[in-house]
Structure formats: structure tokens, C-alpha cells
Amino acid sequence: MGAVHDHDPHRAAPARGRALRLGIGGPVGSGKTALTAALCRTLRDELELAVVTNDIYTTEDADFLRREAVLPDDRIAAVRTGACPHTAIRDDISANLDAVEALEARHGRLDLIIVESGGDNLTALFSRGLADRQIFVLDVAGGDDVPRKGGLGVAAADLLVINKTDLAPLVGSDLDMMGRDAARVRDGRPVAFTSLRERPSAPEVAAWVRAVLREAHEEAHEEAHQEVHDEAHRDAASRAHAPTA
């Protein structure tokens, strides 16, 4: 992933002490809101969750999530981007960061904040200053040649979800080919096939999220351990150099 983000002007903030921020991006209508709803339903009893949605002119995605009662209303915030959706997740992330921080201020310790991007083209990736990890959602009806065509989202997202597999026979999409093409450009990063219509709890994506959280906790633990070690080392060094009475 490194090469993709080397020029990212926004550096990732440390995950320690705050919620992990998970971006969900992808083309219009691929199932980003359906996946957000699925993750909320599956994970809400085990994690402290909140959601930020991005729409260009409306708050439709947030309204949908509230109507579906996937989380209490005050855990769902809407950002109206008023411009290209990718600008709000990549270039000027301030409105999204404000929304994330307001949720954290209101709810105290959260484990996971999902940020759903507005539907956009294949090149839109989240700034690492906004999202610690990101999922890119394609759907099989958008064309089975999309993974082959690549694009940053397909190639570099931490997890690629290929959704609406239930529609594959109807639209004549070749799932095996989509999987092979995605694997070719993704350098070992994972791909999940989902049908949120047939399996609305998205168990494979929820399992991936749990694994990511475990990994983030382990990293934070190691970092904290390293800091304690460094401090002890500094104290010992300054004692060694202190003049003796």
C-alpha cells in the first residue's frame, strides 16, 4: 500500500486511544449503504459503533440508516459534500473529520466509526488522515470487466468487496474472472464476494473488520509498551549522567 499513499498530504493519526476509522467507498449504487447497515447490525452488540455518511445534496443515506434503526439516531451523522464526493474524503476532509470528532465527543470511547463516501468513480480513495482502513465496494452488475480495468479503489483498498453476486446469473457476470482479475492487481490484499440481498449480515466482511480491530489493538499495545520501555531507558540514561553527591 505504501507507494499509493506516499504522496498523501494527510498522515494517518495513531489508532491508539480513539476509534478505528473505516472508510467505505465505491461507485454509485454498488451497496455501500447496504454494507454499512449490515456491519452495524452484525457488530453493534459487540462494539461501540458510529457512522458518518456523505451525500452530495441530501442526507438520504443517513436517513435510510436511521429508518432502518441500525444504530440509535445520535450515532449517525450526515455530511453534505456539495461537490465531488471524492474531494470530501480525499482533499478537504475537514467536514468529515469534524463529524467524526463530534461523534467521539458525544459518545466517549467508540471502537469503530464507519465513514461511507458518496458514490464516485474508480479512482476515489480515502485520505489516510480520515480513514485508517478502507473497503471498496463494486457490484457485479457494474460490469465484470471492472476489476480488470483496475483503478486505485480496486487495486489499493484494504478490502475489495464484490457485491450483488445474486445478480451475476441475470447480468451474465463471470465471478471467477472478476476474482482472478482483482487478485492480479491487488498484490495479495483480500477480496470478498457478497450478496447483501441473500446474506444481509455480511459475515465475511464483519470477520475482516474484527481481524483489523484485533490487529490495531495489538499495534497500539506494542506502541504503548515501546513508549514505556523508551521512557525507562531515558530515565536510566539521565540517572547515569547525573552528577553524584
Ligand X SMILES: Nc1nc2c(ncn2[C@@H]2O[C@H](COP(=O)(O)OP(=O)(O)OP(=O)(O)O)[C@@H](O)[C@H]2O)c(=O)[nH]1
Least separation in angstroms between residue 176's CB and Mg ion is 28
Task: Check the annotation: does 164 bind a ligand.
Answer: no
Phi, psi of 157 (to 5 degrees): -60, 150
Residue with Cβ nearer Mg ion (51 or 168): 51
| Residue list 88-147, contact with ligand X (CB under 6 A) | 119
- Cell digits for 71? 444504530
What is the nearest approach in angstroms of ligand X to the Cβ of residue 195? 4
Please work out the total of residues on this chain that contact ligand X, with binding judged by CB under 6 A: 17
Would the annotation count 149 as a binding residue?
no
Instruction: Report which residue's Cβ sits closest to ligand X.
Output: 119
Pattern 34-63, Mg ion, x by CB under 5 A? ---------------------------x--
Q: Quick one: what does residue 29 bind among ligand X, Mg ion, none, with the CB cut-off 5 to 8 Å set by partner type?
A: ligand X
Binding of residue 32 to ligand X (CB under 6 A): yes
CA distance 175 to 165: 8
**Binds ligand X (CB under 6 A): choice among 12, 29, 152, 190:** 29
Residue 166 binds which entry of Mg ion, ligand X, none, CB below 5-8 Å type-dependent? ligand X
| Distance between CA atoms of residues 198 and 165, nearest Å | 9
Residue 208: closest CA among 5, 35, 15: 35
**28 annotated binding-site participant:** yes
The contact set with ligand X (CB under 6 A) reads 26, 28-34, 61, 119, 163-164, 166-167, 195-197
Annotated binding site for GTP: 26-33
Annotated binding site: 26-33
